[in-house]
């Protein structure tokens, strides 16, 4: 018990559970049912009111038109406030009632805060006492879970207008806030939405209670304007005709449920850049819209879809917009010819007649492989996620309809980052032709505004085109920043001063980092990011044991009625019951999901969070085996929804040892307890099993040796009991005759299985099956073993279950979507899951980038140019679904580990790459200070206090945190859904040690971090191997003395036992086998070019490593990916004369030969006019660079000493054939 309580995670869960059951107690079930009834009643009434309301809206819009003349901020603000309030209140008058009732209840219940405190204390105590009972009661947890997953982000924060989950929200009345000492006027400002019950989200609450206006408060100018009806009714293509900017991008639909995906880059094109006057509406051809329909495998051949637009509607909208300030500023004039050109009610929006023809010919396209009966899925699968748990590569979309906007040749794109009002000019329907006016003094980044927009109760920014636009804009910003950061990573050059580093040319010359691939890792959709995650996961498996369980969980949005209820509430402000949700048509469900990817994503994350809680509980599905660690990756399926792959580490789980029968028995028992393929409904419904039944589709079809087979190897073999089968060992090798026989019978079995698998109701028993294939069990097992390469688990499986994917009944009944669960037999299996599922980096993209890199290697490019090429390649070829874009914009992690990872750069000092401090910080330092690099882990280790003298580097990295302050407050993630507050009672008691250089405080952690390091191999590089072992596992204090100028092997032998003991804490005994598996895999995969083991990366956001991005010049050629010319102008680095003292020191440091040669060259220069060529040769480290420097410095001095010289004249040029060599001598590249 004590051990458990010490565990942070457990305590966190327990807190949550306590809070929840507290809530559950308050919300008595009967009351809820009654309330539902009341709501349904209210809904009926409000629906009847709908007709009236439309009328009313029109009248109001009319009134608004007149009102909207003055554009002063304050009046607007007031108006917006009233409007926002009104929108929110529309169609739920019953809510007012509800509020009143709740306010009443509050008044009585919570006369004062003391009472509330008291209540909380009492509840906590009660929970504490019943905790054991509760913990051991799965049913109680389950019913809690069921009520939790009904929750969605439906509560509106009165201050920021964001939609939040109930657990993020606290309710107040004005009186309660006033009692906390807040001024009336302040309350009035921050509580922008005037509700009787004030609801505040965690972030807003924190600021408001300390009398600060939250950054994202609506009153700071973030509230939307009400959309006038003339704009509200516009469809996407009509909006394009009247927007001063066109965002060119390719949006397509994905999979069955037709969610959206974005392919490639976004290009922002203004209208008529060359003239001052812009005329709207645009002519159709000015939109440059190409309607495309890829007819591949289209079933419905007449589904040609082009949109119609309504000229009168468009014209009215422009009439409204040109009166708005933003449009006036743009000099937009209304075109009256336009309405004459399109006089009809409706016009087909066909840009070019060619497009029409193109589509028609495409329509008649051949439908190639549809008649082989392979595809068993229909258009409305119960579960559109049939094979999602398995690998899906190279999939062609079945119904690939796309609309493509491509700019005309004469259009000059402009930077999306520099075009300040680009959002407003691109989306008049969202911003109503008005500029967003954020109050002065409010510091808001675009990223924060974007988050606020997506969470807003007004869902207008959830539109797919706006979503992708925002995503691309944020991504572009990140790329520009990342490129400038990358230009600051250099080899740790000693003896450079602040003055030198502030000289941009000098810095550019030093830039070493030519790893253009790794630079992409800041983008979470890049292969480089996942490469890094893979390394971390490998390190995790090396340090802990191999994981126990591999688990995959899908999203099944169309199946989750709770989600449909939430979506209806959020999008249509209607309350429907679960039953009504279940009766929605498939199309309606898909439409709801498509309309609000944001809510879908937040719900999925919430649902998973609730599930993880049960999975970690002692009475959960893993009862008896505590879930101690996990690694979770979120991935996106072909149809655009997320699913997660997870590796789980269970305490005390049995380990498989093929030579130990007892271990085998235990493993089988463990597997049977957790994993099932049963078709017998138990605690869960039959519908759920059907989710697990595989249906072949175009995604699993694979041609092998002229046969079509399922790439997932389905149907599976029926088995009488669960078994772990090994391939034949060397002693039991089969004769050729035996092998031939087996292969013949195998074909026979496969065909029979295929037949059986098509009948899911077959009553065939296992024995009957054996009879059918004419084998006894022994022969059957032999046949299966003959096909194995590695040990494999075969689950107990009846003949009618050959298509059922493995599941866990408990998890299934909770999650209610397609899932997969596997027991991890050995390090080889573990590696397979890591590489193939958890971290399959986007293969196609990896390949593209690698090709680009190889191409770059041939040429002679600056670092900047290289980064640009790679960035463009990536930006222009990446593909992302709407839901994935939401993960990015809301910064929801896609890779989560129960342990953080720290990289220890164990390279020799001269080979480590360091990060240069930002200009901003450099400018504050003394000009000749040499403190120019960002401090790394090793600097911190060296500066550890004397009390920690005996701590080795591995322990230091793994067990300690460094922070700038002695006591730090637990950081609250800003406006995120994840707002659990951890109890910090222990933290204050932990002693903080002051670092020797006074730069920070060191504190011990409770859970070890995973360490990652260079990992030199003994057989490849013994010298570095021994040095690394000493560096990591034996305490040291002076690197030069203790680690460099010693005999490494001897020292290692001397401390061998100590090192090995320490090492065993970080390298698990299975690690070698794991490593072997990894190397084998690497050989197969040939993953070259991704060597980035030298770059320090700190997940913990250690304050010392945070690099602040200064205002870098907006180099937009990269973000646009359009300008194809390469940079022709090269910086001509003129060597500068070094100070006399430095020169003398340098000359003194030359050896005899160097000095003699330098003098000789000088003589030649002084005496003759003849041109001469010298070739200086020698191995690495003989001092060529120093010599060259001595020579050119001497030359500079000589010329400058001549009478009448201009010191600015270029006297010398330093050139080198490669960028790297040039950087060494501070020169430039010679072409
Ligand atoms: Zn808020
Ligand atoms: Zn299949």
DSSP for 195-231? -SSEEE-HHHHHHHHTT---TT-GGGTTPPPPPPHHH
Provide mean pLDDT across the span 622-635: 92
Calculate how far, in angstroms, residue 187's C-alpha sits from the geometric centre of ligand 1: 13
Helix (H, G, I), strand (E, B), or coil: what is residue 172?
A: strand
Structure tokens at 1181: 């480290």
Q: Give the DSSP letter string of 712-725.
A: T-PSPPPBSS-EEE
Structure tokens at 1079: 């190397």
Q: Give the DSSP letter string of 616-629.
A: HSTTSTTTTS-EEE
Per-residue pLDDT, 697: 75
Per-residue pLDDT, 978: 44
Calculate how far, in angstroms, residue 895's C-alpha sits from the geometric centre of ligand 2: 28
Range scoring the smallest mean pLDDT among 625-629, 689-693, 902-906: 689-693
23: buried, middle or exposed (CB in 10 Å: 19+, 13-18, 0-12)?
middle
Calculate how far, in angstroms, residue 169's C-alpha sits from the geometric centre of ligand 1: 8
pLDDT bracket for residue 566 (50, 70, 90): very high
Calculate how far, in angstroms, residue 707's C-alpha sits from the geometric centre of ligand 2: 13
259 contacts 274 by C-beta, under 8 angstroms: no
Calculate how far, in angstroms, residue 590's C-alpha sits from the geometric centre of ligand 2: 25
Q: Angle 29-48/50-67 helices, nearest 10 degrees?
A: 70
Calculate how far, in angstroms, residue 810's C-alpha sits from the geometric centre of ligand 2: 26
Per-residue pLDDT, 185: 93
> For the segment 856-909, what is each residue's pLDDT rounded down to a tens digit?
777 777 777 777 788 888 887 778 889 999 999 999 999 999 998 888 988 888
**Geometric angle at alpha carbon 978, from 833 and 613, rounded to 5°:** 55
Calculate how far, in angstroms, residue 578's C-alpha sits from the geometric centre of ligand 1: 28
Range scoring the smallest mean pLDDT among 333-342, 445-454, 518-527, 1012-1021: 518-527
Calculate how far, in angstroms, residue 566's C-alpha sits from the geometric centre of ligand 1: 19
Structure tokens at 717: 């073999």
CA 284 to chain centre: 38
Per-residue pLDDT, 4: 47
Per-residue pLDDT, 601: 96
pLDDT bracket for residue 1084 (50, 70, 90): low
> For the segment 280-314, what is each residue's pLDDT rounded down to a tens digit?
787 776 665 544 433 332 333 333 345 677 888 98
Show Cβ contacts of residue 1106 under 8 Å, excluding neighbours closer than 6 positions.
none
DSSP for residue 803: T
Q: Which of 242, 237, 240, 246 is nearest to 414 (CA)?
A: 246
> For the segment 958-981, what is each residue's pLDDT rounded down to a tens digit?
999 887 766 654 444 444 444 333
Average pLDDT in the chain: 75
State the ligand closest to the CA atom of 754.
2
Spatial separation of the C-alpha atoms in residues 953 and 1032, rounded to whole Å? 5
E strands present in 866-971? 879-881, 895-897, 901-904, 913-915, 960-963
Give the ranges where 243-349 is alpha helix by DSSP (H).
Answer: 311-321, 325-329, 336-341
State the ligand closest to the CA atom of 715.
2
Show Cβ contacts of residue 874 under 8 Å, excluding neighbours closer than 6 positions.
520, 523, 526, 845, 849
Calculate how far, in angstroms, residue 372's C-alpha sits from the geometric centre of ligand 2: 14
Q: Is the pLDDT score of 519 beyond 50?
A: yes
Q: Which of 336, 302, 301 is nearest to 322 (CA)?
A: 336
> For the segment 134-178, what is each residue's pLDDT rounded down to a tens digit?
556 888 888 899 999 999 999 999 999 999 999 999 999 999 999
> For the segment 815-852, what is each residue's pLDDT rounded down to a tens digit?
999 899 999 998 888 888 888 777 776 667 777 888 88
Specify the length of the chain in residues: 1231
State the ligand closest to the CA atom of 805.
2
Q: Which of 794, 758, 779, 763 is nearest to 668 (CA)?
A: 794
Helix (H, G, I), strand (E, B), or coil: what is residue 921?
A: helix
DSSP for residue 343: -
351 contacts 284 by C-beta, under 8 angstroms: yes
Calculate how far, in angstroms, residue 964's C-alpha sits from the geometric centre of ligand 1: 29
Categorise residue 236: left if φ over 0, alpha if ψ from -120 to 50, beta otherwise: alpha
Calculate how far, in angstroms, residue 374's C-alpha sits from the geometric centre of ligand 2: 9
Spatial separation of the C-alpha atoms in residues 498 and 929, rounded to whole Å? 6
**Residue in the block written with tokens 């549809």:** 370
State the ligand closest to the CA atom of 203.
1
Helix (H, G, I), strand (E, B), or coil: what is residue 251?
A: strand
First and final C-alpha spacing in the chain: 71
Calculate how far, in angstroms, residue 1066's C-alpha sits from the geometric centre of ligand 1: 43
State the ligand closest to the CA atom of 377.
2
DSSP for residue 719: B
Q: Report the sign of the C-alpha dihedral through residues 1179, 1180, 1182, 1184, in that order.
A: positive
Q: Is the pLDDT score of 360 beyond 80?
A: no
- Going by DSSP bridges, is the β-strand pair 723-725/401-405 parallel, antiparallel, or unpaired? unpaired
Spatial separation of the C-alpha atoms in residues 742 and 509, rounded to whole Å? 66
How many helices (H) and strands (E) would you count in the chain?
A: 51, 31
333 contacts 258 by C-beta, under 8 angstroms: no
Structure tokens at 1138: 């070094």
Calculate how far, in angstroms, residue 384's C-alpha sits from the geometric centre of ligand 2: 14
Q: Which of 153-162, 375-384, 408-417, 999-1008 has the highest mean pLDDT?
A: 153-162
The CA radius of gyration of the chain, in Å to the nearest whole number, is 34
814 contacts 145 by C-beta, under 8 angstroms: yes
pLDDT bracket for residue 121 (50, 70, 90): low
995 contacts 940 by C-beta, under 8 angstroms: yes
Per-residue pLDDT, 268: 73
949: buried, middle or exposed (CB in 10 Å: 19+, 13-18, 0-12)?
exposed
Q: Is the pLDDT score of 370 beyond 60?
A: no
DSSP for residue 807: B
Calculate how far, in angstroms, residue 388's C-alpha sits from the geometric centre of ligand 2: 11
- Going by DSSP bridges, is the β-strand pair 489-491/347-348 parallel, antiparallel, or unpaired? unpaired
Provide mean pLDDT across the span 655-663: 92
Question: Which residues lie at CB < 5 A from ion ligand 2?
Answer: 696, 700, 710, 714
Structure tokens at 515: 């790893």
102 contacts 171 by C-beta, under 8 angstroms: yes
State the ligand closest to the CA atom of 198.
1
E strands present in 128-283? 155-156, 163-164, 170-172, 198-200, 245-254, 259-270, 278-280
Q: Which of 766, 814, 547, 805 is nearest to 675 (CA)?
A: 805
Calculate how far, in angstroms, residue 218's C-alpha sits from the geometric centre of ligand 1: 9
Spatial separation of the C-alpha atoms in residues 871 and 516, rounded to whole Å? 9
Calculate how far, in angstroms, residue 711's C-alpha sits from the geometric centre of ligand 2: 6
Spatial separation of the C-alpha atoms in residues 887 and 523, rounded to whole Å? 12
Provide mean pLDDT across the span 404-429: 73
Per-residue pLDDT, 759: 83
CA 594 to chain centre: 20
E strands present in 960-1074? 960-963, 993-994, 1001-1004, 1010-1013
DSSP for residue 990: S
Calculate how far, in angstroms, residue 211's C-alpha sits from the geometric centre of ligand 1: 14
**Geometric angle at alpha carbon 1209, from 1170 and 1154, rounded to 5°:** 55
Neighbours of 645 (CB within 10 A): 22
**Rounded alpha-carbon distances, angstroms, from residue 265 to 800, 877, 886, 1121, 1123:** 48, 7, 17, 8, 14
Residues of the chain above pLDDT 70, percent:
67
pLDDT bracket for residue 125 (50, 70, 90): low
331: buried, middle or exposed (CB in 10 Å: 19+, 13-18, 0-12)?
middle
Per-residue pLDDT, 383: 31
**Rounded alpha-carbon distances, angstroms, from residue 432 to 121, 424, 447, 1121:** 50, 8, 21, 30
> For the segment 1198-1212, what is each residue's pLDDT rounded down to a tens digit?
776 665 555 555 566
Q: Which of 234, 194, 205 is nearest to 81 (CA)?
A: 194
273 contacts 413 by C-beta, under 8 angstroms: no
Calculate how far, in angstroms, residue 699's C-alpha sits from the geometric centre of ligand 2: 8
Q: Which of 885, 1175, 900 is nearest to 1012 (CA)?
A: 900
Show Cβ contacts of residue 71 under 8 Å, excluding neighbours closer than 6 positions.
325, 434
459 contacts 596 by C-beta, under 8 angstroms: yes
Calculate how far, in angstroms, residue 217's C-alpha sits from the geometric centre of ligand 1: 7
State the ligand closest to the CA atom of 714.
2
> For the segment 4-54, what is each residue's pLDDT rounded down to a tens digit?
444 555 565 556 666 565 555 555 555 555 555 655 555 554 444 454 455
Spatial separation of the C-alpha atoms in residues 868 and 479, rounded to whole Å? 9
Helix (H, G, I), strand (E, B), or coil: what is residue 842?
A: coil
Spatial separation of the C-alpha atoms in residues 1089 and 1068, rounded to whole Å? 28
pLDDT bracket for residue 255 (50, 70, 90): low
Provide mean pLDDT across the span 332-345: 83
pLDDT bracket for residue 221 (50, 70, 90): very high
292 contacts 402 by C-beta, under 8 angstroms: yes
Calculate how far, in angstroms, residue 155's C-alpha sits from the geometric centre of ligand 1: 10
State the ligand closest to the CA atom of 389.
2
Calculate how far, in angstroms, residue 848's C-alpha sits from the geometric centre of ligand 2: 29
Calculate how far, in angstroms, residue 395's C-alpha sits from the geometric centre of ligand 2: 14
Per-residue pLDDT, 884: 92
Calculate how far, in angstroms, residue 161's C-alpha sits from the geometric centre of ligand 1: 6
Calculate how far, in angstroms, residue 599's C-alpha sits from the geometric centre of ligand 1: 17
Calculate how far, in angstroms, residue 1077's C-alpha sits from the geometric centre of ligand 2: 28
Helix (H, G, I), strand (E, B), or coil: what is residue 63?
A: helix
Spatial separation of the C-alpha atoms in residues 1132 and 1115, rounded to whole Å? 20
């Amino acid at each position: 018990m004590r051990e458990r309580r010490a565990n942070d995670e457990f305590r966190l869960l327990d807190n949550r559970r306590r809070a929840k059951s507290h809530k559950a107690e308050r919300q008595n079930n009967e009351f809820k049912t009654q309330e539902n009834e009341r709501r349904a009643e209210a809904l009926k009434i409000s629906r009847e009111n709908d007709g009236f309301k439309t009328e009313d809206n029109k009248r109001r819009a009319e009134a608004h038109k007149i009102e909207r003349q003055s554009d002063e901020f304050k009046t607007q603000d007031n108006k917006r406030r009233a409007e926002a309030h009104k929108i929110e209140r529309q169609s739920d008058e019953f809510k007012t009632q509800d509020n009143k009732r709740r306010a009443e209840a509050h008044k009585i219940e919570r006369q004062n805060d003391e009472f509330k405190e008291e209540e909380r204390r009492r509840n906590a105590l009660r929970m504490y006492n019943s905790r054991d009972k509760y913990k051991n009661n799965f049913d109680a947890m389950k019913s809690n879970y069921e009520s939790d997953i009904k929750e969605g982000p439906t509560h509106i924060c009165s201050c920021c207008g964001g939609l939040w989950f109930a657990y993020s929200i606290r309710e107040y009345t004005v009186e309660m806030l006033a009692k906390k000492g807040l001024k009336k006027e302040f309350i009035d400002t921050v509580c922008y939405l005037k509700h009787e019950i004030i609801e505040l989200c965690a972030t807003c609450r924190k600021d408001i209670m300390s009398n600060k206006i939250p950054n994202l408060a609506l009153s700071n100018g973030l509230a939307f304007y009400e959309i006038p009806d003339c704009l509200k009714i516009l469809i996407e293509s009509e909006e394009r005709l009247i927007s001063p900017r066109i965002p060119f991008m390719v949006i397509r639909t994905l999979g069955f449920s037709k969610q959206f995906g974005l392919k490639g880059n976004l290009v922002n094109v203004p209208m008529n850049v060359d003239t001052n006057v812009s005329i709207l509406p645009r002519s159709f051809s000015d939109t440059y819209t190409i309607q495309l329909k890829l007819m591949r495998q289209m079933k419905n051949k007449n589904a040609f879809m082009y949109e119609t637009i309504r000229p009168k509607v468009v014209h009215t909208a422009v009439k409204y917009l040109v009166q708005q300030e933003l449009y006036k500023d743009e000099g937009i004039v209304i075109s009256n010819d336009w309405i004459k050109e399109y006089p009809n009610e409706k016009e087909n929006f066909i840009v070019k007649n060619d497009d029409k023809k193109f589509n028609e010919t495409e329509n008649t396209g051949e439908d190639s492989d549809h008649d082989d009966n392979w595809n068993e899925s229909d258009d409305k699968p119960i579960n559109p996620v049939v094979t999602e748990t398995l690998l899906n590569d190279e999939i062609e979309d079945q119904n690939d309809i796309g609309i493509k906007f491509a700019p005309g040749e004469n259009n000059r794109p402009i930077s999306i980052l520099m075009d300040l009002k680009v959002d407003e000019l691109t989306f008049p329907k969202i911003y109503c032709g008005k500029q967003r006016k954020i109050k002065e003094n409010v510091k808001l980044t675009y990223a924060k505004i974007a988050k606020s927009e997506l969470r807003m109760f007004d869902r207008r920014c959830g539109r797919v085109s706006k979503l992708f636009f925002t995503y691309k804009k944020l991504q572009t910003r990140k790329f520009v920043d990342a490129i400038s950061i990358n230009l600051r990573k250099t080899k740790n050059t000693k003896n450079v001063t602040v003055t030198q580093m502030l000289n941009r040319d000098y810095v550019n010359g030093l830039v070493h980092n030519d790893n253009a691939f790794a630079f992409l890792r800041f983008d979470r959709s890049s292969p480089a990011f996942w490469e890094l995650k893979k390394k971390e996961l490998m390190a995790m498996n090396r340090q802990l044991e191999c994981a126990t369980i591999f688990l995959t969980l899908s999203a099944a949005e169309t199946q989750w009625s709770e989600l449909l209820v939430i979506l209806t509430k959020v999008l249509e402000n209607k309350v429907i019951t679960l039953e009504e949700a279940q009766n929605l048509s498939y199309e309606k469900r898909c439409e709801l999901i498509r309309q609000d990817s944001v809510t879908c994503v937040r719900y999925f994350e919430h649902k998973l969070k609730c599930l993880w809680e049960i999975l970690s509980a002692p009475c959960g599905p893993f009862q008896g085996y505590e879930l101690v660690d996990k690694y979770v990756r979120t991935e996106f399926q072909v149809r655009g929804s997320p699913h997660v792959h997870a590796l789980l580490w269970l305490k005390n789980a049995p380990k498989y040892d093929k030579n130990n029968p007892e271990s085998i028995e235990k493993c089988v028992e463990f597997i049977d307890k957790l994993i099932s393929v049963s078709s017998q409904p138990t605690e869960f419904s039959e519908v759920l099993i059907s989710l697990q039944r595989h249906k072949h589709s175009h995604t699993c079809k694979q041609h092998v040796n002229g046969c079509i087979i399922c790439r997932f190897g389905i149907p599976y073999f029926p088995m009488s009991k669960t078994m772990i089968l090994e391939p034949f060992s060397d002693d039991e090798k089969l004769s050729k005759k035996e092998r031939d026989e087996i292969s013949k019978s195998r074909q026979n079995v496969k065909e029979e299985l295929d037949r059986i698998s098509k009948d899911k109701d077959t009553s065939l028993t296992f024995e009957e099956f054996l009879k059918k294939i004419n084998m006894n069990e022994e022969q059957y097992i032999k046949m299966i073993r003959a096909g194995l390469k590695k040990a494999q688990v075969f689950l107990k499986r009846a003949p009618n279950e050959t298509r059922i994917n493995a599941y866990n009944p408990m998890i299934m009944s909770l999650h209610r979507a397609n899932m997969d669960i596997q027991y991890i037999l050995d390090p080889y299996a573990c590696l397979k899951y890591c590489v193939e599922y958890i971290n399959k980096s986007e293969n196609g993209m990896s390949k593209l980038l690698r090709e680009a890199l190889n191409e770059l290697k041939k040429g002679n490019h600056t670092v900047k140019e290289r980064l640009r090429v790679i960035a463009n390649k990536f930006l222009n070829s990446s593909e992302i679904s709407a839901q994935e874009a939401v993960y990015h914009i809301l910064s929801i992690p896609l890779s989560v580990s129960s342990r953080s990872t720290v990289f220890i750069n164990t390279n020799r000092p001269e080979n480590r790459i360091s990060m240069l401090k930002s200009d901003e910080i450099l400018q504050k330092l003394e000009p000749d200070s040499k403190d120019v690099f960002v401090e790394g882990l090793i600097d911190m280790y060296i500066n550890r206090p004397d009390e920690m003298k005996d701590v080795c580097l591995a322990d230091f990295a793994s067990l300690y945190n460094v922070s700038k302050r002695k006591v730090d407050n637990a950081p609250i993630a800003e406006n995120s859904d994840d707002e659990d507050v951890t109890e910090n009672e222990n933290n204050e008691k932990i002693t903080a040690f002051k670092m020797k250089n006074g730069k920070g405080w060191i504190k011990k952690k409770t859970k070890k971090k995973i360490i990652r390091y260079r990992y030199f191999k003994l057989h490849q590089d013994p010298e570095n191997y021994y040095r690394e072992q000493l560096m990591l596992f034996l305490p040291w204090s002076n690197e030069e003395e203790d680690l460099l100028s010693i005999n490494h092997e001897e020292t290692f032998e001397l401390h061998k036992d100590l090192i090995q003991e320490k090492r065993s804490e970080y390298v698990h005994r299975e690690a070698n086998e794991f490593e072997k598996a990894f190397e084998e895999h690497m050989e197969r995969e040939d993953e070259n070019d991704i060597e980035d083991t030298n770059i320090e990366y700190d997940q913990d956001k250690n304050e010392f490593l945070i690099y602040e991005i200064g205002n870098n010049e907006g180099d937009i050629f990269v973000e646009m990916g359009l300008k194809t010319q390469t940079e022709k102008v090269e910086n001509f680095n003129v060597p500068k004369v070094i100070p006399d003292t430095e020169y003398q020191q340098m000359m003194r440091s030359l050896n005899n030969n160097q000095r003699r040669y330098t003098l000789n060259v000088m003589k030649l220069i002084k005496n003759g006019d003849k041109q001469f060529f010298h070739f200086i040769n020698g191995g690495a480290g003989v001092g060529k660079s120093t010599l060259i420097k001595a020579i050119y410095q001497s030359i500079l001095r000589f010329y400058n000493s001549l009478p009448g010289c201009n010191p600015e004249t270029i006297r010398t040029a330093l050139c080198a054939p490669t960028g790297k060599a040039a950087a060494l001598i501070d020169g430039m590249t010679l072409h």
